Structure 1
Amino acid sequence: MTGLSRDVAAFQAQSAFSGTGFTTSESEYVVSHPVRRKIIRILIFLGSAGITSAIATLVLTFIGKSAEEAKQNFILLLGGLLALYLFVRSKWIDRMMRKIIRKLLNKFFPSLKIYDYNQLLGISKGYSIAQIKVRKNSWLSNKTLRELQLDKEGVLVLGIYRKVGEKEVYLGAPSGDTKILPGDLIVLYGPEEIILNLSKRVKGIKGKIEHEEAVEKAKIRAMQEEMELKGE
């Protein structure tokens, strides 16, 4: 519900609930988000209370009991653990619980529906989001987005920050007629290698050649991605 993959969410939830506090880079990623941190805090609290209750119940199960009663309680305990194990491992139960929990969270905690933009935007797949400060000698400077044809390189301009007097104005999803000016801070999404090249690309023949090379790379990358989609 907060955008994490199922495997990562399950591991971190079990770690918090059991009180093991297993530390990985993923755990740092989890606690850096306020909603996820709140969930982890609740799981730690419930886990601590659950362990205390379990220990107390276990002790009371055998204290002051005869050998026969202790044996019966031990068998019941094993039976209960087995039933709990089967309950947890049941895929049908898992599907039903997920549906119920999702409905409850959507109804009572709509703010929990937060997306993991790293995952959605394919940051781990070679794509990146970056900000570029446009210099006077930049290949991007004083050209419209239609003239730049960054989309042919596989790069999208998500927004532009521009100083207007004493204020900084943000233009989201700019059109093709929008001109990039020196001093603009542009927000780009695309292959990390291409964006890095764009930040260094200067005016002139060299910049034009780099643009043409990037367009050719984008065509090859598009073909590769299409083949992957087809399972070839």
Structure 2
Amino acid sequence: MGILFIFIYLFIVFTVIEINTSIFIATGLDRTVARFQVISMLTGTGFTTGESELIIDHPVRRKLGAFLILFGAFSLAVIISAISKLLEDTFYTMEIAYAAGGLLVLVFILRAPKVQALMTGKLKSEMKENYELADLPISDVLLMDEDDEVREIAIKEDSQYADMTFDEIVDADDDIMLLFIKRGEINIRNKAYNTKLEPGDKLILYGNNPKIEEKFEDA
């Protein structure tokens, strides 16, 4: 019975991974990224990739991450305890099997397209109502369409854009905004559009990515 208990509990861990993956997807993460980060947090592996910032910079994902870390620590203790009692007959195998079955049903419910759409709308609505814009990642605040992007463009020594202003490079209808110019340790914002660009400057742009690529193809 002890071995059966361990397999059932591992099945529960799997369903918890799938449930949380579905919720992370509803917050806007790609499925492969979501599953990898869920497993990383659940096992306490602690991969410090750029993708991990998608979790810690997002208030809802951060809460889910805290649950996964705690559940992972608890699960490790349960499995170790189960292994140490393999010769005992006090396992509640049927009860834990019912719990596993309930979680499996929940996995299929959460992965249904209609439920995913409902969760996505609900989570986005909650984010707008309960969190300040400053708490949200750039992707949730600025990137409304799939072509939207925030880009950094460097002005090189031989750049054709040196000694030009942003207004001279970009037309008013180009759907590109200059957020600020990073010049060494200085960030130029209030006069950014009329400031002559210098080699070494970095332009922080927001707008239509294909248009940015077209306008700054030599940068």
Normalising by structure 1, what TM-score?
0.48
**Residue 129 (1) aligns with residue 151 (2):** yes
Q: Which structure carries more relative contact order (alpha carbon 8 Å, separation 6+)?
A: 2
CA offsets 1:2-55 (integer angstroms, 9 cap, x no match):
x751524530343135428497xxx61233568259945763343121332355
Rounded to whole Å, the distance in 1 between the matches of 2:124 and 2:82 is 28
**Residue 89 (1) aligns with residue 108 (2):** yes
Residue 180 (structure 1) aligned to one of 181, 196, 203: 196
Rounded to whole Å, the distance in 2 between the matches of 1:121 and 1:173 is 27
Runs of 5+ in structure 1 lacking a partner? 200-232
Counterpart residue identity of residue 120, structure 1 = L
Distance 1:133 1:34, change over 3 A: same
Q: How does 1:47-62 map to 2 (within 5 A)?
A: 47-53=72-78, 56=81
Rounded to whole Å, the distance in 1 between the matches of 2:33 and 2:135 is 14
The count of corresponding residues between Structure 1 and Structure 2 is 180
Rounded to whole Å, the distance in 1 between the matches of 2:144 and 2:191 is 16
RMSD: 5.3
C-alpha contact 1:159 1:188 (8 A) present in aligned 2: yes
Distance 1:7 1:141, change over 3 A: same
**Residue 28 (1) aligns with residue 67 (2):** no
Normalising by structure 2, what TM-score?
0.50
The alpha carbon displacement at 1:186 in A equals 4.5
Structure having the higher Rg: 1
Q: How does 1:1-232 map to 2 (within 5 A)?
A: 5-8=29-32, 10-19=34-43, 21=45, 28-32=49-53, 35=56, 39=62, 40=65, 43-53=68-78, 56=81, 63-64=88-89, 73-91=92-110, 99=122, 103=126, 113-116=136-139, 120=143, 129-133=151-155, 138-150=159-171, 156-161=177-182, 168=186, 170-171=188-189, 174-175=192-193, 178-182=194-198, 185-189=201-205, 190=209, 191-192=212-213, 194-197=215-218, 199=219
The alpha carbon displacement at 1:192 in A equals 3.5
Rounded to whole Å, the distance in 2 between the matches of 1:193 and 1:102 is 35
Distance 1:89 1:108, change over 3 A: same
The alpha carbon displacement at 1:83 in A equals 1.5
C-alpha contact 1:134 1:186 (8 A) present in aligned 2: no
Rounded to whole Å, the distance in 2 between the matches of 1:151 and 1:171 is 18
